[in-house]
Structure 1
Amino acid sequence: MTHGPRRIVCLTEEPTETLYALGEQDRIVGISGFTVRPAIARKEKPKVSAFTSAKIGEILKLRPDFVIGFSDIQAEIAGELIRHGVEVWISNHRSVDGIIDYVRRLGALVGVADRANVYADELQRGLDDIAAQAAKLPQRPKVYFEEWDEPLISGIQWVAELVRIAGGDDIFPERAAESLAKQRILEDPSEVVRRAPDIILGSWCGKKFRPEKVAARPGWDAIPAVRDGELHEIKSPIILQPGPASLSDGVAEIARVIRRWAERPST
């Protein structure tokens, strides 16, 4: 007997990726236009939302019995759907533990809690393995993660935590603790210079990271990462969504950059 909602609209990518991983993709009737994981979802499912907007009429035509979104940024979309009688779940997790718990809760909501717990445990083991390897590195780099460039926005909590798991130390831990992007805006770019990161990771949501533009900022030539050419892009689909991608491919890519830095020959 099938339990839980049967016609789900996913307003962001992470519920789509999670439901596919759990083998419950047949429940999904609509997805976000920003979805890239898994690739097959873009071919199979109608795209009915962006991040801050949605095609409410198209969503209602799909007759969803459950809509899943993320964060206060989607509050207006959620409110409009609720006023049309649709059941909506807006998750607001911002940490690695929150992502793991999100997988468990989503699985429980669709009636496959046991399968979701197994999957969540696999994700946790993967993180534990990366942390164990990182603990063996000869040195830890200071890392600046840039989520946007105009204005400069530093990394969100789960990103800072993944940097730490991968063997580095985020240079703006006090900013990462803030849930809203506006609270992570760096009013003074020279603060990055003062904190002297060894590695700069860029993930400009929706556009390509341009390391040469970063290196050309006034005064940034004094930053060790710029001096040593340690500016790297982490593709936004694998790090800026609070779902399985960040806990697998995203953290693995960060770990690869940090490991290469830590093991480079000393000059």
Structure 2
Amino acid sequence: MKKIISMILIGLMAFGITGCGNEDATTAPKTETKVENSNEQLAHYPVTITTYDYAKNPVKVTFEKSPEKVIAVYQNSIETLLALGLQDKIIGVSGLDHDVKDEYKSEFSKLKHYEKTPTKEEVIGLEPDFILGWYSLFSEKKLGDVGFWHERGINTYMAQNSGVIKPDSLQNEYDDILNIGKIFNVENKANEIVNNMKKEIEKVKDLVKEKEAVKTVILEVEKDGVYRIYGEDSIGGDIAKGVGANLVAKSSGKMGNEDLIKLNPDVIFTVYYGKEIDKESALKSIMTNEGLSSISAIKSERVHPIMLSEVYASGIRTLDGIKTISKGLYPELYEDK
């Protein structure tokens, strides 16, 4: 009997050891996955990015890890973060010229939105670790120069086409998106966004390479008979050149009716934004201006409204700008779409 009991006990002990071994085997992969993810983060950081101060001097900032509490000001900053899936990192937003794109409205509705740019005191109270915005955000009248924040361990990033670097360019927009991808360790998503923009440019360029270049002007109505021109040194101008247009108003600046009539563009893009210049009034102020009635674009009704956010500090809307300008220049390419 003692032998039988001993054999049973030995069997139970063996079963217990086997059971524990199986339990460890099932949990081990989870531990390895956590270690692998942790190692991936450790391998990515630190990341050093070049940004600028208010004097437009380059400043290097280093990120030891992905920011967790971000304040994003202005359209491109907000939408780029949303496009990269970083909505959970955002603690405050402000400065929209247009409603956010439809695909981001649900996530945007959950964010703390300031109708006016938050004050320096309000931002300090939010305890961010990263502030993303335009050059103008870091003036003394708003948040103050970047050094104030860097001394407090809060990193900053300025959109390069918001007045920091001249000329404005598509490459600056690409670089901003890629830099934000690096900062948050979402480079694959950032590369995909930028590559789609580049592919759209190349697709249109290839389709129209045998066509005659369309005489084009991109402008914003400042007041009756005075226009702000978006020349080759603007995002809109860079896009228009990229898809083969003849940008006849080449330099950014101001222009009157007489100069615009002399240029006689075949296509005009008129910029609109917010409540100041809405879509309808931007179009109407050109089409109903009797002084411009002799211009080819007006006679053929080839005047197209275009969002400010598609031609200035455009962020992810750069792709929309490429499509808006391409469709206005070459409507036949989009007839079946």
Tell me which interval the TM-score lies in, with the shorter structure as reference length.
0.7 to 0.9
Matched position secondary structure for 2:173: helix
| Deviation at residue 96 of structure 1 after TM alignment | 0.5
Residues 39 and 218 from structure 1, CA distance in 2 versus in 1: closer, same or farther, beyond 3 angstroms?
same
Structure 2 contact 327–334 (Cα < 8 Å) conserved: no
1:83 aligns with 2:148: yes
Return the match for 2:122 from 53, 58, 70: 58
List alignment gaps of at least 5 residues for structure 1.
Answer: 176-183
Residue matched to 2:320: 249
TM-score of the aligned structures, taking structure 2 as reference length: 0.66
Measured in 1, the distance between the counterparts of 2:264 and 2:138 equals: 35
1:141 aligns with 2:214: yes
**Cα-to-partner distance string for 1:202-260 (whole Å, 9 max, x where unaligned):** 112222243332234353112111122211112334444421112x1221121112112
1:120-135 aligned at under 5 Å gives the runs 120-135=194-209
Structure 2 contact 193–316 (Cα < 8 Å) conserved: no
List alignment gaps of at least 5 residues for structure 2.
Answer: 1-37, 42-64, 162-167
Structure 2 contact 69–130 (Cα < 8 Å) conserved: yes
1:170 aligns with 2:247: yes
**Cα-to-partner distance string for 1:97-129 (whole Å, 9 max, x where unaligned):** 111111111111222334423432233222222
Matched position secondary structure for 1:214: helix
**Cα-to-partner distance string for 1:63-110 (whole Å, 9 max, x where unaligned):** 211101113465333416753634322232321011111111111122
Measured in 1, the distance between the counterparts of 2:205 and 2:175 equals: 19
Measured in 2, the distance between the counterparts of 1:122 and 1:144 equals: 25
Return the match for 2:273 from 197, 200, 205: 205
1:23 aligns with 2:85: yes
Residues 263 and 68 from structure 1, CA distance in 2 versus in 1: closer, same or farther, beyond 3 angstroms?
closer
One-letter code of the match for 2:229? S
Identity %: 18
1:102 aligns with 2:179: no
Over the aligned positions, Cα root-mean-square deviation in angstroms equals 2.7
One-letter code of the match for 1:158? I
Matched position secondary structure for 2:265: coil
Residues 131 and 103 from structure 1, CA distance in 2 versus in 1: closer, same or farther, beyond 3 angstroms?
same
1:222 aligns with 2:294: yes
One-letter code of the match for 1:128? E
Structure 2 contact 214–329 (Cα < 8 Å) conserved: yes
Measured in 2, the distance between the counterparts of 1:12 and 1:263 equals: 31
| Deviation at residue 262 of structure 1 after TM alignment | 9.2
Comparing both chains, which one has the higher relative contact order based on Cα–Cα distances under 8 Å and sequence gaps of 6 or more?
1
One-letter code of the match for 2:193? Y
Residues 214 and 254 from structure 1, CA distance in 2 versus in 1: closer, same or farther, beyond 3 angstroms?
same
Return the match for 2:114 from 29, 33, 48: 48
| Deviation at residue 191 of structure 1 after TM alignment | 0.9
